[in-house]
């Protein structure tokens, strides 16, 4: 069953390959969404301090009736936090907000504060090492089972690998048809870092791409299913998001295989406009200073 498929992190922790993403789900809706996802069979829930829905996500986990140890829960330290003291404080605050004794994983949300993304060459090497030290300490204390990063490039990863006791266990990156950073994926996988793919459906914009629509029709699946399966076959953890239980279930129905030739065709799809989501830094936008 698709929900039983796991990848192994470098410390032996198993991470379910299909996750339920909660970006842009309001706190007052997150509990029901998480409950529905867990009822359908999802066992990996992804949130972040920046999503402002950790409380609702935690409530959904507690109300679901699923044993805590059967759920892999991940959150993220705010991208703006680049010092040890505030990173440490934020980890404890996340646990309090979620009313959980531990998280399965916590990651640094971005190597740069969002206000600098696509606008600055400063990679905040020292600040990321400080935040990383807080994550390492929390893991040793039993508050976290695994630690990782998001949107880190090879130079960012090398900084942590060279200067820390624990190397990142995951790197959560933008990866979808039309935006497949193969060199970064290869770098991570060659260094024993599991890749997670966020926005597998390009925040919905893949639904409008004719090449993708035609390929989905060939396999008699939805565009979303094709996009999720594409990331799956790159051996990445995939994080689709939906608040609609019908779509949640559909997103987990991935029992088909995209052949090698079609994978190459999809990998060659040109990047496309993210439409109304273009202002988000992860999609190339710039925050106003």
Alpha-carbon distance of 15 to 106, in angstroms, equals: 13
Residue identified by tokens 């909660």 is 22
Residue length of the chain: 289
Instruction: Tell me how crowded residue 87 is: count the other CB atoms within 10 A of its CB.
Output: 24
Segments in the chain forming alpha helices (H): 27-40, 54-63, 84-98, 125-140, 154-163, 182-190, 210-219, 223-233, 245-251, 260-267
Q: Which of 51, 102, 219, 274 is catalytic?
A: 51
Q: Return phi, psi of residue 238, to 5°.
A: -115, 135
Radius of gyration for the chain, computed over Cα atoms and rounded to the nearest angstrom: 18
CA-to-CA distance for 267 and 210, rounded, in angstroms?
A: 14
Annotation marks residue 51 as catalytic? yes
- Residue 178 gets the label, from left (phi > 0), alpha (psi -120 to 50) or beta, of left
CB-based contact 104:74 (threshold 8 Å): yes
The helix, strand and coil proportions of the chain, stated in percent and rounded to the nearest 5, come to: 45, 15, 40
Helices 54-63 & 84-98 angle (0-180, nearest 10): 40
Active site amino acids: 51
């Amino acid at each position: 069953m698709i929900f039983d498929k796991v990848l192994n992190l470098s410390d032996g922790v198993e991470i379910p390959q299909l996750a339920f993403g909660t970006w842009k789900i309001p706190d007052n809706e997150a509990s029901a969404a998480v409950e529905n996802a867990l009822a359908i069979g999802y066992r990996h829930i992804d949130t972040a301090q920046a999503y402002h829905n950790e409380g609702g996500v935690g409530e959904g986990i507690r109300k679901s009736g699923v044993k805590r140890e059967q759920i892999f829960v991940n959150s993220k330290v705010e991208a703006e936090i680049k010092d040890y003291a505030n990173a440490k404080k934020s980890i404890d605050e996340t646990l309090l907000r979620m009313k959980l004794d531990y998280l399965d994983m916590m990651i640094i949300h971005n190597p740069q504060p969002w206000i600098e993304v696509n606008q600055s060459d400063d990679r905040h090497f020292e600040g990321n090492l400080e935040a990383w030290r807080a994550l390492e300490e929390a893991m040793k204390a039993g508050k976290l089972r695994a630690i990782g990063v998001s949107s880190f490039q090879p130079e960012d990863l090398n900084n942590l690998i060279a200067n820390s006791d624990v190397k990142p266990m995951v790197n959560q990156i933008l990866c979808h048809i039309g935006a497949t950073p193969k060199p970064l994926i290869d770098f991570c996988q060659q260094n024993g870092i599991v890749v997670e793919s966020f926005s597998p459906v390009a925040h919905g914009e893949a639904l409008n791409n004719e090449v993708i629509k035609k390929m989905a029709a060939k396999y008699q699946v939805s565009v979303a299913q094709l996009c999720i399966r594409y990331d799956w076959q790159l051996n990445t953890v995939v994080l689709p998001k939906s608040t609609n239980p019908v779509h949640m279930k559909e997103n987990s129905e991935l029992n088909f295989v995209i052949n090698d030739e079609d994978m190459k065709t999809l990998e060659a799809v040109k990047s496309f406009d993210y439409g109304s989501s273009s202002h988000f830094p992860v999609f190339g936008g710039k925050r106003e200073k």
